Structure 1
Amino acid sequence: MSESVRVRAPGKVNLYLGVGELQPNGYHELATAFQALSLYEDVTATAARDFQITVEGDVDVSGVPLDETNLAMQAALAIADAGQLYGDGVHLHIRKGVPVAGGMGGGSADAAATLVACDALWGTELGPARLHAIAASLGADVPFALHGGAAVGTGRGDELSAALTKGRFDWVLVTRPDGLSTAAVYRGLDELRTRHRADLPIVPVRPRVDVEILHALRSGDPRRLAEALQNDLQAAALSAKPALAETIEDGLHAGALAGIVSGSGPTIALLCEDADDAASVAATLTADDHTAIVAHGPVAGARIIS
């Protein structure tokens, strides 16, 4: 048993997000294609008498909860329960590099990193399948942060199958200080679909990822991927925050191949031709008073680094 374990896990971008028809239980089935990005959360788990969290970061962390509403705390408690470690505690120190409440899975990355860190700290040796099951119980994006790379997710997004991918894709992420409520964005999508149902194709209960996304990933061609990007939540996010559409336009004018709302927003993900173009787009947007971050993918999932 170690005294301290540090684990790094990545944020993500949804290359494709298909949202199924609203079901009677109030949920939607999803079909998504994830790519893990080089924006990271570092979680250091240290043996302690109780459970506690501290947070710092390169991004604004003022809205990060420090109690059991934090997914990382829930992950630590889940590992303790699975290992029947009722007398053990942990101090989780989180260093955040993924924008908070930006639709990029930072909280899910914290949870995935905590699962790996606490499993190693306490020597529970739960194994990949058990860790995946616990990750899925915590949230739809947590299993992907655990595995990283590129993957297709179905169900709630937590039933994963790896997606073959070639080469590297370069992104510019444009963040905003004001967030968007995920629940409100989903409600907005349902309202838009109800209002325009006569003009829209039938929405399936179980959507499927467009095969062109998978072809684009296998080809390693950013232009092909740019043409295939899709997010069913984007219309609702743009309706709630029209300035996001202007951000996408600014990114395209600066030289990006395509722009998309990341998850439920409000972060905008701009796909670029290569690393040099991403640096140029970020510089142009920064000069125009946007907050722009350069990243690339795919990268590995949660892993022990010390």
Structure 2
Amino acid sequence: MTIAATDEAVHVRAPGKINLFMRVGELDADGYHDVATAYQAVSLYEDLRAWPSDEFTVAFTGSVDTTGLPADRTNLAIRAARLLARTAGVPGGVHLEIDKHVPIAGGMGGGSADAAAALVACDALWGTALSKDDLHAMAAELGADVPFALTGGTAIGTGRGDRLSPALATGSFHWVLVVADHGLSTPAVYAELDRIREEQLGTGRRGPAAAPAGSPVVDPEVLHALRAGDPELLARAVRNDLQHAALRLAPDLAELLDLGVSLGALSGLVSGSGPTVAFLTESAESAIELQVALSAARRTALHVHGPVGGTRIVHG
């Protein structure tokens, strides 16, 4: 049941994310993996506007190519709006317009940010006044990264990545993102990691992609570096188990990682399932220098900082 609805468009902004640490457990019987990840929301945003409508529709603009995005009920933002409508008993629909800037299928949670934005926008548009816990539960139902897109900041994710606990991060960390001209399927990357692990077991040795013994955890060095606000410490602690699989599926990423470090990055890693690569730098100034150098090398490079806040309504 709605409480108070508005005929005005609701504007919501949601951040993309970097997985600055990610350990992936063994494949479970249900076909999923437990993970332990450190998320950081960064200053690359999706802007969503929601209007009242009789139907559920979505349209796209933005700085990324959106021609391949589904605009039907399979779209994650539409799924989020429909889920909220069913949960709250809203009889109408919504028209969503999404101005996209987070790379599509890039390992930065752009689709999850859209879903989080749709939940917040529709809650405001329809006046459903759902609690944060209710929104979080719906977010977790939509996907592992959606709850973090709601909360933003820096957080540790466990389970499927949706069980969140805040992590203290002092100051601001500066990253240079290099955006690929192709995407990687998250299920395909996980499947490739499983294949790599099977191959290593067949040789009788544990390689760098081996699953952790027991439940995966975030290394204490990561939390210490975040609390200290020290990019050099963090550079030594970053890790992503999925990077092994992403490099197998997109071998050119290895050359890119070497290039970024040779041009001054403290470290580089594939974000999430990739193929976006995130380079950590010492300061805003060094990030700008790296961005310029990578752009000169004909790479699409963006300077972002984090942590930033989660999904929020934009007024004015």
Q: Same fold (TM over 0.5)?
A: yes
For residues 7 and 202 of structure 1, the distance between their equivalents in structure 2, rounded to whole angstroms, comes to 38
Does the residue aligned with 1:16 lie in a helix, a strand or coil? strand
Partner in structure 2 of residue 97 of structure 1? 101
TM-score under structure 1 normalisation?
Answer: 0.98
Deviation readout 1:166-199 (Å, 9 max, x if unpaired): 0000000101111112112111111111111222
Partner in structure 2 of residue 113 of structure 1? 117
- Residue ranges of structure 2 left out of the alignment (5+ in a row): none
Partner in structure 2 of residue 175 of structure 1? 179
Matched, 1:60 2:65: yes
Q: Which amino acid aligns with 2:78?
A: M
Partner in structure 2 of residue 257 of structure 1? 266
Alignment counterpart, residue 13 of structure 2, candidates 8, 11, 16: 8
For the Cα contact (< 8 Å) 2:25–2:211, is it kept in 1? no
For residues 103 and 280 of structure 2, the distance between their equivalents in structure 1, rounded to whole angstroms, comes to 18
For residues 287 and 152 of structure 1, the distance between their equivalents in structure 2, rounded to whole angstroms, comes to 35
Alpha-carbon distance, 1:204 to partner: 3.1
Matched, 1:162 2:163: no
Matched, 1:190 2:199: no
Kindly tell me the number of residue pairs found equivalent between the two proteins.
Answer: 305
- Residue ranges of structure 1 left out of the alignment (5+ in a row): none
For the Cα contact (< 8 Å) 1:115–1:131, is it kept in 2? yes
For residues 125 and 215 of structure 2, the distance between their equivalents in structure 1, rounded to whole angstroms, comes to 39
Q: Which moved more, 1:186-195 or 1:214-223?
A: 186-195
Does the residue aligned with 1:187 lie in a helix, a strand or coil? helix
Alpha-carbon distance, 1:12 to partner: 0.1
Partner in structure 2 of residue 36 of structure 1? 41
Alignment counterpart, residue 275 of structure 1, candidates 266, 269, 284: 284
Matched, 1:148 2:152: yes
Alignment counterpart, residue 138 of structure 1, candidates 139, 142, 150: 142
Alpha-carbon distance, 1:205 to partner: 4.8
Deviation readout 1:222-242 (Å, 9 max, x if unpaired): 000110000001111111111
Alpha-carbon distance, 1:203 to partner: 3.1
For residues 275 and 184 of structure 2, the distance between their equivalents in structure 1, rounded to whole angstroms, comes to 6
Identity %: 56
For residues 144 and 112 of structure 2, the distance between their equivalents in structure 1, rounded to whole angstroms, comes to 8
TM-score under structure 2 normalisation?
Answer: 0.95
Does the residue aligned with 2:27 lie in a helix, a strand or coil? coil
Q: Which moved more, 1:196-205 or 1:125-134?
A: 196-205
